[in-house]
Amino acid sequence: MSRIVEITELALRDAHQSLLATRMSLDDMIPACEDIDNAGYWSVECWGGATFDSCIRFLNEDPWERLRTLRKLMPKSRLQMLLRGQNLLGYRHYEDGVVERFVEKAAANGIDVFRIFDALNDIRNLKTSIDAVKKTGKHAQGAICYTVSPLHTIEAYAERSEQLKEMGCDSICIKDMAALLRPQPAYDLVKAIKKRCGNETLLHVHTHATTGVTMVSLMKAIEAGCDIVDTAVSSLSLGPGHNPTESLVELLEGTGYETRVKLDRVQRISNHFAQIRPRYKEFFSENVGVDTEIFKSQIPGGMISNMESQLKGQGAGDRLKEVLEEVPRVRKDSGYPPLVTPTSQIVGSQAVFNVLMGKYKVLTGEFADLMLGYYGSTLGKKDPEVLKQAEAHAKKPAITVRPADLLKPEWENLSATANALKGANGSDEDVLTYAMFPKVALAFFESRAQGRKNVGKDPSAKAAEVKAESKAPAAAAGGAALRGKVNYVITLNGKEHRVSVAAEK
Amino acid sequence: MSRIVEITELALRDAHQSLLATRMSLDDMIPACEDIDNAGYWSVECWGGATFDSCIRFLNEDPWERLRTLRKLMPKSRLQMLLRGQNLLGYRHYEDGVVERFVEKAAANGIDVFRIFDALNDIRNLKTSIDAVKKTGKHAQGAICYTVSPLHTIEAYAERSEQLKEMGCDSICIKDMAALLRPQPAYDLVKAIKKRCGNETLLHVHTHATTGVTMVSLMKAIEAGCDIVDTAVSSLSLGPGHNPTESLVELLEGTGYETRVKLDRVQRISNHFAQIRPRYKEFFSENVGVDTEIFKSQIPGGMISNMESQLKGQGAGDRLKEVLEEVPRVRKDSGYPPLVTPTSQIVGSQAVFNVLMGKYKVLTGEFADLMLGYYGSTLGKKDPEVLKQAEAHAKKPAITVRPADLLKPEWENLSATANALKGANGSDEDVLTYAMFPKVALAFFESRAQGRKNVGKDPSAKAAEVKAESKAPAAAAGGAALRGKVNYVITLNGKEHRVSVAAEK
């Protein structure tokens, strides 16, 4: 008798976020929905901060409408989203009323499983959303960001898991966004959490493929009793993305574990995205192989390139090594935050400043906030000297309360402002869109009526485009080129584009 | 106390054979040799049939000279080659005297470890080379091709391993060239072989990354007691290649297994090939992701595309499905040969003929030879009806002796012919080069004096070329419009595009 291992398919959210800069249009998802709905997945991840942002910023697509469409097209599936706790899908703490409203609306529009995490693993930042999910009757999954530090022991994670369970979470997720989770810790973590929380506690492992070790980690997690793992169909897998669904299913053969996933369906989904993917070539992540440097530096690749460009901007491109050595010290001083957005940027920038200006001679506002508890609490203690400097810099005291406790009700204000915007439709969903991304929402509401935009380019259409572009202006070329700008209407694949042409500066 | 797992580095042979069509020049290997020699590998694979062929066919490089150079640059390392038993590096059976001479010369020029296999796993085809290796005092490794069939049981492999050990092999290798080896069979195979051959028997696992499951298989093989595994530095890994060396080293942390490999050295090797690889872009394998279809069809990807093009050539491109269903039947009738070169092509072509012309109405000469034992014996019995047809077709009897037993001494002839060629240097090595690839050697001997050719193209040189082309017309913009080309900045949906416009020719 085999034990069943369940699978969450990431193709519609994290996979294209990791591989195609979150640019996939709903139009390219729709043809795969029937197969996804019938493939036997435990859940289908399809919504989150970056997909929401990308919808309104790049795709002129209403993210709520995307959700409703996916809901309609996948009636049998659990739809899953990633929620940043008190930050929701935005970059600041929201007042509880907004959090509650958001969860209610997400559930009403189609979300079944809410995976909720906080960058600092401060569970107080998860409480309001967990409670709100429970109120809707949906599945609340508490996620813990996996990181490596002297304080992040197996026992510390197990303890945090137990707290999440006590807060009412229906399942626990180990969220390994940097592919740092090696096989042995994966095994030990799952064992420890199951022991502490009870064997019946549903345990989910999320990991990326970046370092090339995590397929083995998934196997070890499964051997230790993990119930659900995250994968993506092979055509949207690997590199900074995830382990391939088909491979996970195949490798379990004969092991005493099996999935419910139907490989013929998965193959069809994969074939669909294999056809779609080349259209998004310009958004491809350049890093498609394996990167194990992060094990050595403990610093995510994206963070290193950020720091590099900061240094170059200061004419100090040769001091990266010093900065890389400074990062662990800054991290220690600030209580060992996991290095994920936004803490990776905050710690990285401060390390750059320390190297260029002298140790904590200059503090960034964000670093001061992190030191003073305005993002939440960290597992480690803050360095008292640096803490004093942060107070002096920010001219405000350190806090120990939950950051959102300091916020005043804001729904009425948000609502009034949002509803007054041109193109806003008066729904709570629009208010929430505005609340998440005020500037982007403003532009989106105005252009929404023009319908969604697919930024993926059919290679054959692209060839036609180049031809059309080179044909049209050629007619009026010579004279206009010297005058400046000419406006054309170009018909490309039956769709009209307004094109303005100017001579190169 | 951790158990040591040894690593064979594939970068210099199978990795660039699988990923860069075997095109890497010695010049691009030389800068990595010092790091490879000091990285702590058990062995360094650097020679084999395809590298030998590619040297003289594409790179105007003497493969023996390559070997001597690598020997000199890596004095501490075991250099390893892949030898196709009685076929040596060519495509026919050679008489024993040639086999002995080849092994002697390979050892004298620098090979320490000979990995010897036969496409049919007919160990009689390995005997002469194993004996020859033992005579030189070098390491003879007997390899078994891994395949899946009702007859290829764990016990059958264990029995074959024992026979190889009795023939004097210093180690046994499970050679999984199609990435079909799943984790559980990997575990079971290693356990069974160790049990049958004795725990002290050195066991080596070779596998490819193609299906995305084999990193887990390596882990399971290690848990079962496997001593050495094959990997390639990350910049030359994955896709149809192999699992990344760095990832294997990292994933063992904390498991009770460790390697001797020094990661800083491996990182430098990997960085070197990361810089080299883009130059060989035109030779890249297109398939860089994961392909799990082979588990379903049991037919290697390359074989399917061969059959497809054969069918299209006959105007029967729509009959692939029938052919795919016919392959397992042909394979059964011919005694379940593993589907590797050359048997994959032989079985595939016969399946195509069966579908197009009627079952065994037409036999290919090669299929008749396979049926009649001229490639060696198979694990399964041949179908007696088809055997009769093969005898009638080929007008020769089935044989049960070792195919090479029918060959007459050929060294004198080969030697006389080779030495008479223009540019031949009179060495035994040249005779062997001629013996392997007579036509290609002829051309190579003539052009050898011109020195080796690096077919990798420097991208910066290429970019400079493109730049030079696009720069020239820009300088003359306005007036040039009517003559030829103008460069514009086109704003399309708010995004700037640089477009060069030319009047249509």
Q: What is the pLDDT of residue A257?
A: 98
Whole-number Å distance between alpha carbons of A229 and A253: 16
Q: Are A196 and A160 in contact (CB under 8 A)?
A: no
Q: What is the pLDDT of residue A89?
A: 96
List the single range of A41-55, B59-73, B270-284 with lowest mean pLDDT.
B270-284
* Best residue of A154, A180, A213, A466 to probe chain B, by most B CBs closer than 10 Å: A213
Partner residue facing A216 (CB), from B215, B474, B487? B215
Q: What is the pLDDT of residue A363?
A: 95
* Best residue of A180, A470, A500 to probe chain B, by most B CBs closer than 10 Å: A470
With beta carbons under 8 A apart, name residues in chain A contacting B215: 212-213, 215-216
pTM of the entire structure?
A: 0.89
Confidence of residue A302 (pLDDT cuts 50, 70, 90): confident
Confidence of residue B91 (pLDDT cuts 50, 70, 90): confident
List the single range of A384-388, B370-374, B483-487 with lowest mean pLDDT.
B483-487
A289 vs B216: CB contact, 8 Å cut-off? no
Q: What is the pLDDT of residues B134-155, one digit of tens each?
A: 999 999 999 999 999 999 999 9
Q: What is the pLDDT of residues B341-366, one digit of tens each?
A: 789 889 999 999 999 999 999 999 99
ipTM of the complex: 0.88
Confidence of residue A277 (pLDDT cuts 50, 70, 90): very high
Range from A39-43, A486-490, B89-93, B478-482 that averages highest in pLDDT: A39-43
Q: What is the pLDDT of residue B492?
A: 47
A251 vs B183: CB contact, 8 Å cut-off? yes
pLDDT beyond 50 at A469: no
With beta carbons under 8 A apart, name residues in chain A contacting B285: none
With beta carbons under 8 A apart, name residues in chain A contacting B290: 234, 237-238, 244, 246-247
B488 vs A473: CB contact, 8 Å cut-off? yes
Q: What is the pLDDT of residue A308?
A: 85
Q: Kindly state the average pLDDT of the residues A437-453.
A: 96
Q: What is the pLDDT of residue A477?
A: 36
Continuous H helices in A225-319: 245-251, 263-276, 293-297, 301-313
List the single range of A191-195, A219-223, B52-56, B284-288 with lowest mean pLDDT.
B284-288
With beta carbons under 8 A apart, name residues in chain B contacting A217: 251
* Cβ atoms < 10 Å from Cβ of A322: 15
List the single range of A145-149, A181-185, B414-418 with lowest mean pLDDT.
A145-149
B213 vs A215: CB contact, 8 Å cut-off? yes
B255 vs A184: CB contact, 8 Å cut-off? yes
Beta bridge partners of B488: A503, B499
Which chain B residue has the Cα nearest residue A274? B289
pLDDT beyond 80 at A486: no
Partner residue facing A212 (CB), from B234, B290, B491? B234
Which chain B residue has the Cα nearest residue A60? B493
Q: How far is B413 from chain A (nearest CA, A)?
A: 49
Q: What is the pLDDT of residues A244-275, one digit of tens each?
A: 999 999 999 999 999 999 999 999 999 999 99
With beta carbons under 8 A apart, name residues in chain B contacting A501: 488-490
With beta carbons under 8 A apart, name residues in chain A contacting B238: 212, 238, 289-290
Q: Kindly state the average pLDDT of the residues B266-290.
A: 88
Continuous H helices in A420-500: 428-436, 438-447, 459-483
Q: How many helices (H) and strands (E) does chain B have?
A: 23, 12
Paired tokens of A139: 């599945």
Reference A160, options A179, A181, A174, A180; nearest CA is: A174
Q: Are B146 and B130 in contact (CB under 8 A)?
A: no
Pick the more confident residue, B486 or B374: B374
Mind giving me the DSSP string for A320-388? HHHHHHHHHHHHHHTT---S-TTHHHHHHHHHHHHHHH-TTTS--HHHHHHHTTSS---SSPPPHHHHH
Mind giving me the DSSP string for B271-338? HHHHHHGGGGGGG--S--S---HHHHH-S-HHHHHHHHHHHHHTT-GGGHHHHHHHHHHHHHHTT---
Q: What is the pLDDT of residue A483?
A: 36
Q: What is the pLDDT of residue A190?
A: 98
Paired tokens of B243: 């699992």
Q: Are B438 and B51 in contact (CB under 8 A)?
A: no
With beta carbons under 8 A apart, name residues in chain B contacting A184: 253-255
Confidence of residue B461 (pLDDT cuts 50, 70, 90): low
pLDDT beyond 80 at B300: no
With beta carbons under 8 A apart, name residues in chain B contacting A469: 490, 499, 501
Which chain B residue has the Cα nearest residue A237? B289
B489 vs A499: CB contact, 8 Å cut-off? no
Q: How far is B212 from chain A (nearest CA, A)?
A: 5
Mind giving me the DSSP string for A183-238? HHHHHHHHHHHHHHH-TTSEEEEEE-STTS-HHHHHHHHHHTT--EEEEB-GGG-S
Q: What is the pLDDT of residue A135?
A: 98
pLDDT beyond 90 at A350: yes
A215 vs B217: CB contact, 8 Å cut-off? no
Q: What is the pLDDT of residue B464?
A: 56
Pick the more confident residue, A294 or B406: B406
Q: What is the pLDDT of residues A46-65, one digit of tens each?
A: 999 999 999 999 999 999 99
End-to-end CA separation in angstroms for chain A: 71
Q: How far is A298 from chain B (nearest CA, A)?
A: 13
Q: What is the pLDDT of residue A298?
A: 74
Q: How far is B31 from chain A (nearest CA, A)?
A: 22
B215 vs A213: CB contact, 8 Å cut-off? yes
Whole-number Å distance between alpha carbons of A78 and B292: 26
Confidence of residue A426 (pLDDT cuts 50, 70, 90): very high
pLDDT beyond 70 at B474: no
